[in-house]
Amino acid sequence: MRRSLFVPTLALTLLGAGSVFGQFGRQLPPVGIQPDKQLTQRWQVGAVIQAVGGPCAGLRGTISVPTAWPEQQVRIVDEDVSSFARRVSYRDLDGVKQMLFWIPQMPAGEVANVLITFEVTKSSVLAPEDTARFVVPRNAPRDVRIYLGASPLVEVRDSSIRSKANEIVNDGATAWEQVEAIYDWVRDNVKYKSGRDKGAVAALRDGNGNEHDLTSLFIALCRVNKVPARTVWVPDHCYVEFYLMDEKGEGHWFPCQVAGTRDFGSMSDHRPVLQKGENIKVPEHREPQRFVAEFLKGTGGRGAGQPQVKFVRKLLPAN
């Protein structure tokens, strides 16, 4: 049975770069990131749950969903929610939005859908024209300072990380050049190698790592040099944002892709952002989570049924 729920639309007006004019009408380059080409896609996100071997009760689940960022607009366009799901809601954590659902009772053999379709419009990003104007923040805002410390697999206190970070950066370079030097060093000296995540220290030691490891190493080296940096998670991939301030003391997040095609200060990936950061506190877990994964918890009813869940996050065909 399909039931319609009222869910507030998630929307954010994308901020355009805007034109700034100086004396005599001279057009000045925009500050910070410049949104470029937009792509609109529809993504279905949620879960399909079946009660196997008996009834199930008290099922509570979560899954991360796309949400609004400066480069991304999101709205809900369709809902396929079975009557067994009595409540669907959303919560914002630092860097991620989750959908929460509750199924109090489900008879044996029944299937419950909790599927929401999001329309996501994401812009690619161009690098700023004038990079010399940016500086490393001396006193970053509190919500940015959290991206200077250690995170799971981003071991900024390790002596090998600190030594390499100091070795790479030229004090006479601009802030942009310093970050780019870290970026180029990682790409030139640490080779991509598929495998399990091992973190920044192991990638530096071994001279190789998967895309998460290369990303973690770049972030760690930035943070040691007082440049806030964080992981940006999209479906089946991740990249980085680093933070610099302009001459007016305004902060800007700039993207770059450490593993894959060279993309520094810019980003051509149109996949929806699911999470920013890699040290997220989630109520269902004691330890901070590097990536907030799907979650389902519940008990069998009489007859000890077991819930079987298939989490869904798929791109729908274009209309």
Whole-angstrom Cα distance, residue 208 to residue 202?
8
Res. 302: pLDDT tops 90: no
Here the tokens at position 276 are 């920013």
Flag the least confident range among 215-229, 246-260, 290-304.
290-304
Tell whether pTM > 0.85: yes
Q: CA Rg, the chain, in Å?
A: 22
Positive or negative, the CA dihedral 197, 203, 205, 206 is positive
The pLDDT score that the predictor gives to residue 33 is 76
Architecture of domain 130-265: Roll (3.10)
Cβ–Cβ < 8 Å for 265, 255: yes
Flag the least confident range among 83-87, 97-101, 151-155, 224-228.
83-87
Q: Which residues, 6+ apart, have CB-to-CB distance to 312 below 8 Å?
A: 44, 45, 46, 47, 48, 115
What Cα–Cα distance (Å) separates residue 138 from each residue in 36, 148, 243? 30, 12, 12
pLDDT tens-digit map of 163-213: 999 999 988 899 999 999 999 999 999 999 999 999 999 999 999 999 999
Here the tokens at position 11 are 């929307």
Cβ–Cβ < 8 Å for 27, 21: yes
What Cα–Cα distance (Å) separates residue 257 from each residue in 2, 122, 268? 41, 17, 10
Q: DSSP class of residue 85? A: -
The pLDDT score that the predictor gives to residue 24 is 34
In the chain, domain spans = 2-124+293-315, 130-265
Tell me what percent of the residues of the chain surpass a pLDDT of 70: 89
The pLDDT score that the predictor gives to residue 279 is 97
Q: Compute the mean pLDDT over every residue in the chain, rounded to the nearest whole number.
A: 90
Whole-angstrom Cα distance, residue 301 to residue 56?
5
What is the mean predicted confidence (pLDDT) over 121-150?
96
Whole-angstrom Cα distance, residue 106 to residue 242?
46
Q: 168, 131, 141: which is closest to 265 by C-alpha?
A: 131
The pLDDT score that the predictor gives to residue 111 is 96
Whole-angstrom Cα distance, residue 278 to residue 281?
10
Please give the residue that has the higher pLDDT: either 25 or 192. Answer: 192
> Residue 229, exposed/middle/buried by CB under 10 A (0-12, 13-18, 19+)?
buried
What is the mean predicted confidence (pLDDT) over 89-102?
97
Please give the residue that has the higher pLDDT: either 2 or 202. Answer: 202
The pLDDT score that the predictor gives to residue 172 is 87
Whole-angstrom Cα distance, residue 91 to residue 61?
12
What is the mean predicted confidence (pLDDT) over 11-31?
39
Grade residue 13 by pLDDT with cuts at 50, 70 and 90.
Answer: very low
The pLDDT score that the predictor gives to residue 15 is 32
Amino acid (1-letter code) at residue 61: G
The pLDDT score that the predictor gives to residue 191 is 97
Angle of helix 159-168 relative to helix 211-224, nearest 10 degrees, comes to: 70
pLDDT tens-digit map of 32-68: 778 999 999 999 999 999 999 889 999 999 999 999 9
